[in-house]
Structure 1
């Protein structure tokens, strides 16, 4: 399961052409200011970064494990700072380098519990004291289609309930809220809201957004 935290072959081929849709609530970043040091971890092709830049945020960096997605982002947004992450989740930044980190639809791409915890620990390291972590990710869906594939995948591969394979070959995870809250044990939860998104394969789904402050 741990290798499924990377899945570079998928993201450099099929995944490199996907469209990502999780909305950004700019009000949640109001307290850090337009000059805040912001990291978009798993930035893909820079969609969220471009939106932040367009609203006046001047110090935004992005990393992603997929060279193909980074190349797409650099072509579309040559003014953005986009870098390939060579050894995820390890980041090439010193401790307390950022005032805010965005993690949009990233945990869904990391099915393994230990790999998720390792990522959050690295984000804790690079966040300054009092820094913000803004997560947007997928929750467990309650429709029959999703329930059936959660159960089938868990039984076959002994994975956490909510993990499944998409029709085009990615292994992803939808989360129980208790799982997400447990990942944030080093944070104070400030805001939580449900939202509707369209998945990268075009399905309407329910997601959650969490804003947390590093203690």
Structure 2
């Protein structure tokens, strides 16, 4: 059974072939200076870092636990910097030094409650007061396929919404109440829901939340 707290092996193997499709909403970042310090946590192959560079941002860094994905990101997005996380969720950044952080389809890959709290706390630490955290992830999906696998894996993982994919990842879909509690140290700014494709190409609904460190 895959472990909940470390899935780097998956992201260095099967995960390298995935496509990540949650779209960036540029209007949510329009108030940032183009020299703002931006972090894409769980950057994968650097898609969002490339989007940010295309918008004119010049200080963009991506971090990820998978060296294979970081190598691809460095090759495809030379305008950004990329770092392999060797002790997640810890970052090398000093306190209150980042203007914004992006967390796109990352919480779904961190099924454990405590690990999610640690990750969000670390992003809170490195964001300056007033800094933005932009989250895009999955709430519980209403379709029959997802409801069936939530039920099928609930006994194994002790939580409704955690499930295994057919190729070995352990993922989590969330209640909105959990996401609100997880981000409780931040102030809400904006939210939206939108159709997306999952990393395996299936239709889903994503929830995007923009919050600020108070």
SS of the equivalent of 2:135 reads strand
Contact kept, 8 Å, 1:5 with 1:109, in 2: the verdict is no
In the other structure, the counterpart of 2:135 is 135
Work out the CA distance in 1 between the residues paired with 2:168 and 2:97. Answer: 35
- Cα distance, 1:3–1:91 mapped onto 2, change above 3 Å: farther
Work out the CA distance in 2 between the residues paired with 1:60 and 1:76. Answer: 14
CA deviation after TM superposition for structure 1 residue 171, in Å: 0.3
SS of the equivalent of 1:155 reads helix
In the other structure, the counterpart of 1:93 is 93
TM-score between the two structures when normalised by the length of structure 2: 0.97
Contact kept, 8 Å, 2:2 with 2:168, in 1: the verdict is no
In the other structure, the counterpart of 1:181 is 180
In the other structure, the counterpart of 2:190 is 191
In the other structure, the counterpart of 1:6 is 6
- Cα distance, 1:3–1:89 mapped onto 2, change above 3 Å: farther
Contact kept, 8 Å, 1:2 with 1:112, in 2: the verdict is no
In the other structure, the counterpart of 1:81 is 81
SS of the equivalent of 1:35 reads coil
CA deviation after TM superposition for structure 1 residue 3, in Å: 4.6
In the other structure, the counterpart of 1:168 is 167
- Deviating above 6 A after TM superposition, structure 1's stretches of 4 or more consecutive aligned residues are none
Instruction: Kindly report the root-mean-square deviation, in angstroms, between the aligned alpha carbons of the 2 structures.
Output: 1.3
The answer to whether 1:38 aligns with 2:41 is no
The answer to whether 1:155 aligns with 2:150 is no
CA deviation after TM superposition for structure 1 residue 2, in Å: 11
Contact kept, 8 Å, 1:8 with 1:66, in 2: the verdict is yes
In the other structure, the counterpart of 2:104 is 104
SS of the equivalent of 1:5 reads coil
CA deviation after TM superposition for structure 1 residue 155, in Å: 1.7
In the other structure, the counterpart of 1:121 is 121
Contact kept, 8 Å, 2:5 with 2:115, in 1: the verdict is yes
Q: Which moved more, 1:107-116 or 1:25-34?
A: 25-34
Aligned length: 214
Contact kept, 8 Å, 2:197 with 2:204, in 1: the verdict is yes
In the other structure, the counterpart of 1:52 is 52
SS of the equivalent of 1:210 reads strand
Superposed CA offset, 1:117-161 (max 9, x none): 000000010000110000000111111111111011112332x21
In the other structure, the counterpart of 1:204 is 203
SS of the equivalent of 1:4 reads coil
TM-score between the two structures when normalised by the length of structure 1: 0.97
Work out the CA distance in 2 between the residues paired with 1:187 and 1:169. Answer: 33
Work out the CA distance in 1 between the residues paired with 2:69 and 2:44. Answer: 5
